[in-house]
Amino acid sequence: MLGDEAIGQGALDAGLSGVYAYPGTPSTEITEYIQRSGQARERNVHSRWSANEKTAMEAGLGMSYAGKRAMVCMKHVGLNVAADAFINAGMTGVNGGLVVVSADDPSMHSSQNEQDSRFYGKFAMIPVLEPATQQEAYEMTRYGFELSERFGLPVMLRITTRLAHSRSAVIRSEILDENKLRLPADLKQFILLPAMARQRYKHLLSTQEKLELESLNSGLNRLEPGSDQRMGIIACGLSYNYYREVAVSEGLDFPVLKISQYPVPAELLNDLVKQVEKVLALEEGAPLLEESLGGILENAYQIGGRLNALLPRDGELNPMLVKNALGIPVY
């Protein structure tokens, strides 16, 4: 499956009731896949191309309000259009599970900028999932719905072009039934008049420590040991594959912290840096995690990445760029 198709199938197998989207490469194939799916037709899954990303977000919230599982799909620049409803969704919370897929386009293959959607997830203070493979895209979509309902928050699934438009075998899991219709316990939850909004904001703030604990214990972020402690690698999402390709070809054995769920637990980051002399941060898009390391790490370490020009500030990562950052000659 394409990464986009794996997300669509993961949503269907997780009991999806509706998908709402505005077409924008590299996200378009998610909704197209669901619209072509016999499984979706048999279940009468609601599927709509919306007038824009904001109305798609609002439609998804409406289905979530009714207790059903919904998915909203867009590309990174579309998240700007959806921002009003998206940011407030962290405040209102959700009822049925709501997964928001934002497909970023580093190197601007079909876009006008290189925006990084993880900033929006951090701003909204909601969980963000970032798969490294098509199998993870399938599994994280399913997990995203469960996570959304457990914490009562929308969950962002952040992918990039290379994952969306490359193929891999995907092993499916048990097909779940759709949720039954049910109203929220608090019928005023979705009304953000100031008096209620202040209460909802306090509630959102109170979940942050629990979200970090979930990121620590979910297994999606993991520290892989290595015998060569001259350097530690932090690899977010798809960049993990690029490092592994270089590590196999060059015989590298550095400790690696694989990041696929945000907020990133400070405990894991500190566990890595205690073992190594310096750190290389690999992340597609902006140096979001790299910029925050100075305030998270307990000790001062040399941190390399996009901010100190070990990696270029723009464009996609690839194995050659990773080699260069590691000081390995590229011929």
Q: Is residue 320 part of a domain?
A: yes
What integer is the mean pLDDT of 77-99? Answer: 97
What local confidence, expressed as pLDDT, does residue 162 receive?
Answer: 95
Tell me what the pLDDT averaged over the chain comes to: 94
Instruction: Give the structural domain span for 273.
Output: 222-325
By the 8 A CB rule, do 134 and 1 touch?
yes
Q: Is residue 49 part of a domain?
A: yes
pLDDT bucket at 184, cuts 50 / 70 / 90: very high
Same structural domain for residues 227 and 200?
A: no
What local confidence, expressed as pLDDT, does residue 39 receive?
Answer: 97
Which of the listed residues 147, 175, 206 is the one where a domain comes to its end? Answer: 206
What local confidence, expressed as pLDDT, does residue 330 receive?
Answer: 84
User: What CATH number did the domain enclosing 230 receive?
Assistant: 3.40.50.920
Per-residue pLDDT of 109-165, as tens digits, reads 999 999 999 999 999 999 999 999 999 999 999 999 999 999 999 999 999 999 999
What local confidence, expressed as pLDDT, does residue 299 receive?
Answer: 58
The predicted model scores a pTM of 0.93
What local confidence, expressed as pLDDT, does residue 307 receive?
Answer: 83
Same structural domain for residues 44 and 192?
A: yes
Q: Is residue 135 part of a domain?
A: yes
In the sheet that holds 232-236, the strands lie side by side as 222-224, 256-259, 232-236, 278-282, 302-304
What local confidence, expressed as pLDDT, does residue 291 receive?
Answer: 87
Which of the listed residues 149, 176, 206 is the one where a domain comes to its end? Answer: 206
Rounded distance between C-alpha atoms, residue 40 and residue 46, angstroms:
8
Same structural domain for residues 177 and 317?
A: no
Q: Is residue 212 part of a domain?
A: no
Which of the listed residues 174, 206, 238 is the one where a domain comes to its end? Answer: 206
By the 8 A CB rule, do 68 and 181 touch?
yes
Q: Is residue 211 part of a domain?
A: no
What integer is the mean pLDDT of 307-330? Answer: 90
What local confidence, expressed as pLDDT, does residue 293 receive?
Answer: 81
Instruction: Assess whether pLDDT exceeds 60 at residue 73.
Output: yes
Per-residue pLDDT of 204-237, as tens digits, reads 999 999 999 999 999 999 999 999 999 999 999 9
Same structural domain for residues 13 and 133?
A: yes
User: What CATH number did the domain enclosing 127 receive?
Assistant: 3.40.50.970
Give the chain's domain count: 2
Q: Is residue 213 part of a domain?
A: no
Same structural domain for residues 227 and 100?
A: no
Rounded distance between C-alpha atoms, residue 93 and residue 101, angstroms:
17
What local confidence, expressed as pLDDT, does residue 292 receive?
Answer: 82
Same structural domain for residues 310 and 278?
A: yes
Nearest residue to 286 via CA among 158, 169, 193: 158
Per-residue pLDDT of 159-183, as tens digits, reads 999 999 999 999 999 999 999 999 9
55 forms beta bridges with: none
Same structural domain for residues 46 and 183?
A: yes
Q: Is residue 247 part of a domain?
A: yes
Q: Is residue 215 part of a domain?
A: no
What local confidence, expressed as pLDDT, does residue 274 receive?
Answer: 87
